[in-house]
Each structure stands twice: as C-alpha cells, then as structure tokens.
Homo-oligomer: A and B are copies of this chain.
Amino acid sequence: MIKHAIEHTPVSKYIYATSRSSIIIRIRVARSNIKECKLIYWPRDIENKKFRNCLYMKCKNRDDYFDYYEIEISFPKVARYMKYYFELTSNDLETVYVSAHGINEVEPKDGYFDYLYTNENDVIKLPEWAKGQVFYHIFPERFYNGHIDKNHRKYVPWGSKPTRDNYMGGDLKGIIEKIDYIMELGVDCIFLNPIFEADFNHKYATINYFNVDPDFGTNEDLIKLVHECHKRNIKIVLDGVFNHIGVNSMQFKDVLEKQENSKYKDWFYITRFPVDISHHNYECVGAYKWMPKLRTSNPEVQKFILNVMEYWIVEAEIDGWRLDVADEVDYTLWQQAKRKLKSRFPDIILIGEVWGNASKLLQGDQLDIAMNYVFRDAVKDFFVNNIKPSEFDARLNRMLAEYHNEVNEAMYNLIDSHDTKRFLFECNDNKRIFKLAAAFQILFFGSPAIYYGDEVGMTGDNDPDCRGAMIWDEVKQDRDIYQWYRKLIRIRKDNMAVKRGGFYTIVCDDILNQYGFLRSKDNEDIYVIINRSSSKITTYVPLRNGEYFENLLNYEILNSVPLEKDDRFYNQDLLEYSRKLAIQLNEYSIKILKKRMEEFV
C-alpha cells in the first residue's frame, strides 16, 4: 500500500454537510492502489461495537497520483456526534486503519475522527437555477448599439479594429434589442461586464456605482433589461468591481482635494501624502494608476460595498454579482456578503473572478462559485497545446476533487473571456479544434459560460482584440459554428444527464489521443467520445444486453457486438457487461451517444 498518499482531515474538503441530516465524507488514496475502502462509523455515546456501521466507499475522482473515495451518509434527524475511522485494503491485501492518530496497522481503540454537529450555515446550498445552466458573457460596449442617436464624433464604426480607447456604441438598449437572439441560443443567464458610470470603454474605473454609465444608458434601461430577461426566464448577473475604484470617483477626488483631511483617506492605501496621480503614491490594482485599490478591510468601505450590492438586487432585481479580482479583496467582506445578502436573497449567486485554485473563497462562507480559469487552462492545454489525454483527465479530476459537488455543479466553466485571447484565436483559427473544445465545454459538468461572439466564430488576440464588436451580419457570421453551439446547448438542455448528471472518465488513451466521458443521472447515460488525433480511430465501450446507442448529433443508431475475452476498458469493471460497441470517429471529431434500451413487447 502506498501510505504516503492517504489523506483525510476533518475539514471541509474531506467532510462536509449536504443538508442538516446528511454529510459527505471523502478520503484520498493512491491511484489504483486500493481494493476496498470502508467507512466505519457510530454514534459517539454508544460503546458497543455491534452498533458500528460499515459502508463501502466509492472512487469518485481519479487524477495522476490519487483516487478520491467518497460516500454520503444520512441521519434520521441532525447529523451529529459521530465517531469514525477508515479501513483500507490494498490490491496486495494489506489492511490499514486511518484514524485521527494517523495510519494504524491494527484496528484503533481510540483517536477516532469526530463529526460533531451540523448547524444551518454549515450546509452549502447553491440556488437550484445556477446548476448546470448556460452563461452568456457580454462586454457591453461591443455587443449592440441600440441607441441610434449617439454623438457620432465619439464613436468609430461598428466592427472597427478594437483599441483600448475607442468606442463603438454598444449599450443596454442594444442588449434588450438582442435579447431574443440570446434566448434562441439557449442562454439561461447573462453576465455583463461593468455598466456603472466609469472611465474607459471597459468601465472598470468606477466613478459612481449607483448610476448606469451614460454611454450605456440609464438606470431605467437596466431595470427594463432585467425585466425583459426575466420575462424570458433568463437571469442576469452584473460585474461588481469593488477591489478598486476610479480616480474620478467622488471618494478619490475628495482625497486629492482635501488630502489628509479627507474623510475618505482611509478608503485607500495611501503610501505618502500629498497624494498625486502622477506620483502614484497609493496602491492600485496591478500597476493601473487610474484605479486606486479600495481598502476593503475598512468597515466603512465594506458597508458602502454591501450597500451597492444590495441596492441593485432590490432596485433592478438582478440575480447576482460576478466579483472582480475577488481573491484580492478582504475576505471578511465576502463573509458578510454571504451572511447578509444571501440570507435575505437566497436565490442570488456570487461568482468570484479567480485565476487559480479558488478553494479559499468556496468553502461556503464566502462566494458560491468562481470563474473557472483552471478549467480553461486544462481545455486550452489539451485541445490547443496537445497535452496527453491522461494529463488532461488528471487536471480535470484534481480540479473536481478540490471543491464540493454542490460547487462543481454550478461552476462558471469558461474557455475565454474579455481578459484572454478568443479561444478560436488560441486554436490558430482551426475551426475543427475549436468546435471540439466548445463541445467539451458545453458537455462538461457544471455551467458552461459562452463569451459573446464565440458562437458566431469571432476570433482575436487578448485585450483589446478579444473585445471586438459583435458580428450581427449573418453573412459574416460563421453559421456552422453557430449551429454547432445551438445544437450542443439543445443537447444539454434536453438531457438531464448533461445538465446535472455526474462526470466519469471512460476513455483516456494517450496513444490514440482520444478522450471520453460519461454523463449520468438516474437512468440516463450519455457517452461523449472525442478523437483529438489527426487519424480515424475506432474505440469501444461496453454494454449490457439490449442496450444500444443513439448519436445525439445526427440520430444515427449504433449497435453492439459480443464482448471478447481480452477486452479491457478504462475505469470499468466488466462483470455486468456482455457486449461492446464499436465507435468510429473521424479525425478531430466527437460523438455524443445516448444509451437506449430495446423495448421488448
């Protein structure tokens, strides 16, 4: 047994509440090393060993080094006062016991793990609507100009090369005009980059959080936009830029004017008075002197921000906030946002912008989900940089094992954004690769987030090129890509296994460069097989008698042949199978196969 791999500590990653009466317990062991993983548990006040429960745990995720076993257990009332330990038996039949005292060769007589009590706030519950839905991310200045009487001296023509300074005229009325387009694509929730009064076309240098920027319209336009979205059952999330503010905000201007006497001086990190923009003697976000960092640990600043967050939830009935550079903001602000806002408005969602591991923010006491750049990096490295399927799979599974299931179900899974190259550009404009990656994104566990225009084949390097004007002329759109997105989103929405089902790797072949996974919920199984290579391949999946597959992309029916003696399948024990299906895949192609059952009359 590889004992160095064994990990369980009684903290949230390894034991957490799913309701007041149920908990999930996890343990990590070495990959492919364990034959049996048992949880032994009992009420702490019962000494008699007869009353000990013993349950077999299942491997839920597998990365390059580890298997993550998991089990959910239920209690009649409140989950509490439980003692437990693990019994692991390796493939070479060594048995050890894992307790709070570490790894024991003999059954422990004390030093058990304890689970004490589930309070209401221990239960991590995300809004149901947020799970498995489709986000659509809009950079407002570049989506659609619905406000035709603009002063044209300020604007370059729609579709001009985007720069950091130019304006093309996108606005909220434009989004309202195009809301049916968004609905038809199948979007469930729009995320808008900043729309409040601010400098720059990106509006990240906020002047006033309580006004929609005149470039984009009025507060009434925002209220109307939310109303039009809600009429169509579309949610809408705004960009909360609270890590920093603009130099032209009332607060920072007051500091510039009154210096040490300003009542806002402790809203910032001033390194030296007199403050002067040209001297850069205050902390900024990155090196952007136009965006002084707010001192988000200051209770006054926290009160102000919480007030802004609440204001728009009440005033415009928005459905949540995406929080800019969430991991640079003082965490006590997010703890209060969670406690104060989510108790009053349990159905809103709080999304953090995080580029790496987001687990600090996603323990249940701060934000709900994060923009999953770790997902994007893995997708890019597999589809563009050609890492091996096994490495891709390891990175995905490690990522899933890092967060609670509840969080993974709603995670904002993007492949690009206003802060990255367009994914088609990453693909060197290779459409076949792009379509594979987009399909993977839409079929993966969680909530796919589509950056506006990706669905019509927009390309472009990082900012400013990735912020081009949306292509509305159907002749200039890539209609093939558009139909691809439509079809995949349709498949997600029509199949609960894709929308909300579990994720299990079933094909992971470094030699043939193919990758496949199962999405499964209740009796619905959907197999997705991706051929990432430049050759045609045939791959096999096992089936039971009477099962066959339908390709959801073209309604083709695939039939099976009997299993052969030497057949082996990734992650699948063949005991229950008797047949196999040969799946032929062209180079750079995907099949989405729904398992069907012959109906015997």
CB distance B329 to A297 under 8 Å?
no
Report the separation of the CA atoms of residues A212 and B4 in the bound assembly, to the nearest whole angstrom.
Answer: 52
Nearest-neighbour CB distance to chain B for A518, whole angstroms, equals 24
**A325 to chain B: closest residue by CB:** B116
Interface presence of A273 (CB below 8 A) = no
**Residue among B9, B117, B327, B329 making CB contact with A357, cutoff 8 Å:** B9
Number of copies of this chain that the complex holds? 2
Q: How distant is the Cα of A286 from the Cα of B116 in the complex, in angstroms?
A: 10
A121 touches B332 (CB 8 A): yes
A339/B328 in contact, CB under 8 A: no
Given A78-B283, A356-B10, A65 contacting B331 (CB threshold 8 A): no
Bitwise interface map of A from 245 to 289 toward B, beta carbon under 8 Å scored 1, else 0: 000000000000000000000000101000000000001001100
Q: How many residues of A contact B (CB 8 A)?
A: 64
Tell me whether A227 is interfacial, beta carbon within 8 Å: no
**Shortest distance from the beta carbon of A175 to any chain B beta carbon, whole Å:** 32
Q: Are B121 and A330 in contact (CB under 8 A)?
A: yes
Q: Are B116 and A328 in contact (CB under 8 A)?
A: yes
Q: Can you list, as one digit per residue, whether each of A65-84 has a CB less than 8 Å from chain B (1) or not (0)?
A: 11000000000011011000
A100 touches B357 (CB 8 A): yes
Specify the chain B residue showing the minimal Cβ separation from A394. Answer: B102
CB neighbours of A125 from chain B (8 A): none
Please name all residues of chain B whose beta carbon is closer than 8 Å to the beta carbon of A45 when the two chains form the complex: 286-287
Chain B residues, Cβ within 8 Å of A402: 9
Report the Cα distance A398→B331, complex, angstroms: 28
> Does A296 reach chain B (CB closer than 8 Å)?
yes
With a cutoff of 8 Å between Cβ atoms, the chain B residues found around residue A269 in the complex are 78
A475 touches B (CB below 8 Å)? no
* Residue from A77, A119, A329, A360 with most neighbouring chain B CB atoms (10 Å): A119
Given contacts A332-B365, A335-B335, A377-B111, whether A103 and B359 have CB atoms under 8 Å apart is: no
A356 touches B65 (CB 8 A): no
Tell me the bound Cα distance from A283 to B77 in angstroms.
Answer: 10
Neighbouring B residues of A232 by C-beta, 8 Å = none
Residue contact B4 to A102, C-beta cutoff 8 Å:
no
> CB distance A103 to B65 under 8 Å?
yes
Q: Does A106 contact B (CB under 8 A)?
A: no
10 pairs, CB–CB < 8 Å, chain A vs chain B: A3-B65, A4-B5, A4-B30, A4-B66, A77-B271, A81-B286, A100-B374, A117-B327, A119-B328, A331-B365
